[in-house]
Amino acid sequence: MRQKKLGLEDFESLKVIGRGAFGEVWLVQKKDTGHVYAMKILHKAHMLEKEQVGHNRAERDILVEADSLWVVKMFYSFQDKLNLYLIMEFLPGGDMMTLLIKKDRLREEETQFYVAETVLALDSIHQLGFIHRDLMTGRTKTTVSTMLGTKGCPASLEAS
């Protein structure tokens, strides 16, 4: 049985939850199931202008290939004339920067916990043959455990 192609009309936009160099991230709800996701909208013109098409393609490929507790899961992707859309797992805990702003400081045990989980996330990406070249607190997602977003990641080990 062939799956129906998804499009923007299959999702209800709830609110903007992030902005970046190539677009924004929306909290969305899939209309037929009610499931909530994070929809990353990447503007094609910005990617072409900054010569980042390859990096964004690699990011998508990593999200598709990664079957890891430590990497954000991607469920769907599609495009239109202006944008690429990545429908990913929504992590309500936000990112590490948000956590640090809220708490100001982490206890030593908390720091050890998040550092250990970040190392596991980096290892899982490394095992796929990629290196994360731009790790920062805004790309480390927090929930009950740490998960890694792949932006800044797509340097192939073979190219290094």
Binding residue positions for ATP: 40
Is 10 known to be catalytic? no
Report the binding-site residues: 40
Contact 110, 130 (CB under 8 A): no
* Rounded CA separation 73/67 (Å): 8
Contact 120, 112 (CB under 8 A): no
Rounded Cα distance, 155 and 96, in Å: 23
Give CA–CA dist 15/53, Å, rounded: 26
Catalytic residue among 32, 61, 67, 134: 134
Catalytic residue numbers, as ranges:
134
